[in-house]
C-alpha cells in the first residue's frame, strides 16, 4: 500500500516537475536572461592579462537540460514527501476520500513550502543578492520553510481537536486562522533581507518573481490533481471487470489481503 | 487507533443522503518506515537542487551549481 502510494507520488511529482519546467521556460527564462545581461553589464571588465570568466555550463544547457533536471528532481522529491503527507492525512483530516485529501494537502503544501517563504524571502533573479551573504540567506530561507511546515502541522492538529465540536468547515477555518497567526508572528520576528540593487529594474524583478511563484503553483496544482485519482484507485480499487481470469484472481487476492489487514488498523 | 475507534468502516449516511464509507486511516506504524527512508532521500534530492555548491558544498567545484542554476532561481531558492 505505502510502496504504491510512494511510487505514484514520485510519478505525479515527476509529471508536475515537467509541467513546471514548461511554465518556467516560457515565463521565467526571458527574465533570467535579462537579469544576466544586467549582471554582465555591471561586472568590472577583466584585468589586463586575465581571461574573462569561463562558462562552466553553457547558457543553453542551463535553460534546457539543467532547468528540466532541476524541476524534475525537485518534483520527484516533493512528490515523494507529498505522498507520505497524504497517507498520514487520509482519514485523519476531513471526511473525504483521497482526492479531496490530496487537494487539501497540495494547497497546504503550496502555501507552507512555497508561498509563505516567498512572501518573507522572495525569489531573486541573477544580479540580485550579495554572494557573501548566501549562507545567512539560505539558513533563514530554510528556517522559514520549516516554521511554515511546523505551523501547518500544528494547525492541522488543532483542526482535528475541534472538528468534533465545531464541524469540519469551522474546524478548517480555525486551523487556517492558527496557521495564519503562527506564520505572521514568525515573519514579523525574522530579520529582513533586502539586497536588491537600486538600479535593478522593478518591473523585471516583479515579472521574475511572478514567474517563480507561478512555477511553484503549477507544480503543486499538478501534483495534487494527478496524485489524488491515482491514490484513490490504490485505496479503493474498483471491482475488476471480468476481462481475464488472471486479473480477476489478482483483484480477489488484493481484496482478501486488504480485509485481512483491516482489523489491525482499528 | 483513536481515529477509527469511533467510526465504523461500514457505510454512514451523510448530509447529502448518499451513503458512503468513511475513509479508514492508514496505520501510522505502516507509514513511519517509508516516511523515514523516503524523507531522507527526498530531502537529499531537494538539497542538491536547492543548495549544493551554494551555501554548502559536498562535492566541490561549481558544476552542480551552474547546471541547476536557472531551476534554483526560478524555484525560489537563494542561489548566489
DSSP A37-79: HHHHHHSPPPPTT-PPPPPSS-HHHIIIIIHHHHHHHHHHHHH
Looking at the domain assignment, is residue B23 inside a domain?
no
Looking at the domain assignment, is residue A253 inside a domain?
no
State whether the Cα torsion B62-A205-A72-A154 is positive or negative: positive
Say what the pTM is. 0.83
Tell me the β-bridge partners of B21: B11
Q: Is A126 on the interface with B (CB under 8 A)?
A: yes
Looking at the domain assignment, is residue A224 inside a domain?
yes
Domain that holds residue A162: 2-39+59-237
The span from the CA of B53 to the CA of B60, in Å, is 7
Q: Say how many C-beta atoms besides its own lie within 10 A of residue A47's C-beta.
A: 7
Q: Is B64 on the interface with A (CB under 8 A)?
A: no
pLDDT interval class at A152 (50, 70, 90): very high
Looking at the domain assignment, is residue A49 inside a domain?
no
The span from the CA of A186 to the CA of B51, in Å, is 23
- Residue-wise pLDDT tens digits, A230-266: 999 998 876 666 555 444 445 444 554 555 444 443 3
CB contacts of B3 in chain A (<8 Å) are: 91-92
Mean pLDDT of chain B: 78
Q: Is B4 on the interface with A (CB under 8 A)?
A: yes
pLDDT interval class at B24 (50, 70, 90): confident
CB contacts of B76 in chain A (<8 Å) are: 114, 117-118, 122-123, 212-213, 216
Looking at the domain assignment, is residue A17 inside a domain?
yes
Tally of domains within chain B: 1
- Residue-wise pLDDT tens digits, A113-135: 999 999 999 999 998 988 888 99
Least confident segment among A47-51, A62-66, A123-127, A245-249: A245-249
Looking at the domain assignment, is residue A243 inside a domain?
no
Looking at the domain assignment, is residue A254 inside a domain?
no
Question: What pLDDT, on a 0 to 100 scale, did the predictor assign at position B52?
Answer: 83
| Helix or strand holding residue A121 (H, E) | none
Tally of domains within chain A: 1
Domain that holds residue B80: 29-80
End-to-end CA separation in angstroms for chain A: 17
CB contacts of B45 in chain A (<8 Å) are: 73-74, 76-77
The span from the CA of B33 to the CA of B51, in Å, is 26
- Beta carbons of A134 and B62 less than 8 Å apart: no
Question: What pLDDT, on a 0 to 100 scale, did the predictor assign at position A51?
Answer: 60
Identify the burial level of B11 via C-beta atoms within 10 angstroms of its C-beta, where 0-12 means exposed, 13-18 middle and 19 or more buried. Answer: exposed
User: Considering only CA atoms, which of A55, A213, A122, A20 is closest in space to residue B67?
Assistant: A55
Distance set, CA A93 to CA A88, A89, A101 (Å): 9, 6, 7
Grid cell 544547457 is found at A61
Q: What is the ipTM of this complex?
A: 0.83
Amino acid at each position: 500500500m505505502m510502496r504504491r502510494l510512494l511510487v505514484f507520488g514520485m510519478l505525479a511529482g515527476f509529471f508536475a516537475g515537467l509541467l513546471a519546467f514548461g511554465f518556467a521556460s516560457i515565463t521565467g527564462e526571458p527574465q533570467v536572461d535579462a537579469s544576466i545581461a544586467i549582471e554582465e553589464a555591471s561586472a568590472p571588465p577583466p584585468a589586463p592579462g586575465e581571461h574573462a570568466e569561463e562558462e562552466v555550463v553553457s547558457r543553453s544547457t542551463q535553460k534546457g537540460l539543467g532547468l528540466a533536471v532541476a524541476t524534475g528532481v525537485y518534483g520527484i522529491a516533493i512528490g515523494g514527501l507529498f505522498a507520505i503527507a497524504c497517507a498520514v492525512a487520509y482519514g485523519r483530516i476531513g471526511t473525504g476520500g483521497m482526492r479531496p485529501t490530496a487537494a487539501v494537502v497540495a494547497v497546504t503544501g503550496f502555501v507552507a513550502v512555497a508561498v509563505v517563504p516567498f512572501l518573507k524571502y522572495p525569489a531573486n533573479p541573477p544580479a540580485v543578492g550579495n554572494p557573501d551573504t548566501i549562507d545567512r540567506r539560505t539558513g533563514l530561507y530554510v528556517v522559514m520553510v520549516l516554521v511554515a511546515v511546523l505551523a501547518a502541522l500544528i494547525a492541522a492538529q488543532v483542526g482535528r481537536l475541534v472538528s468534533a465540536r465545531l464541524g469540519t468547515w469551522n474546524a478548517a477555518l480555525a486551523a487556517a486562522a492558527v496557521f495564519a497567526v503562527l506564520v505572521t508572528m514568525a515573519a514579523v520576528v525574522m530579520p529582513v533581507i533586502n539586497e536588491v540593487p537600486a538600479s535593478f529594474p522593478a518591473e523585471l524583478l516583479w515579472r521574475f518573481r511572478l514567474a517563480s511563484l507561478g512555477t511553484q503553483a503549477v507544480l503543486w496544482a499538478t501534483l495534487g490533481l494527478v496524485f489524488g485519482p491515482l491514490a484513490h484507485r490504490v485505496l479503493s480499487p474498483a471491482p475488476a471487470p471480468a476481462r481475464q481470469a488472471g486479473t480477476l484472481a489478482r483483484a480477489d487476492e488484493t481484496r482478501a489481503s486488504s480485509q485481512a489487514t483491516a482489523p489491525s488498523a482499528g | 487507533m483513536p481515529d477509527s475507534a469511533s467510526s465504523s468502516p461500514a457505510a454512514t449516511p451523510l448530509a447529502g443522503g448518499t451513503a458512503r464509507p468513511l475513509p479508514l486511516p492508514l496505520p501510522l506504524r505502516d507509514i513511519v518506515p517509508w516516511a523515514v527512508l523516503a524523507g531522507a532521500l527526498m530531502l537529499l534530492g531537494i538539497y542538491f537542487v536547492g543548495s549544493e555548491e551554494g551555501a554548502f558544498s559536498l562535492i566541490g567545484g561549481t558544476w552542480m551549481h551552474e547546471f541547476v542554476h536557472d531551476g534554483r532561481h526560478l524555484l525560489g531558492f537563494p542561489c548566489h
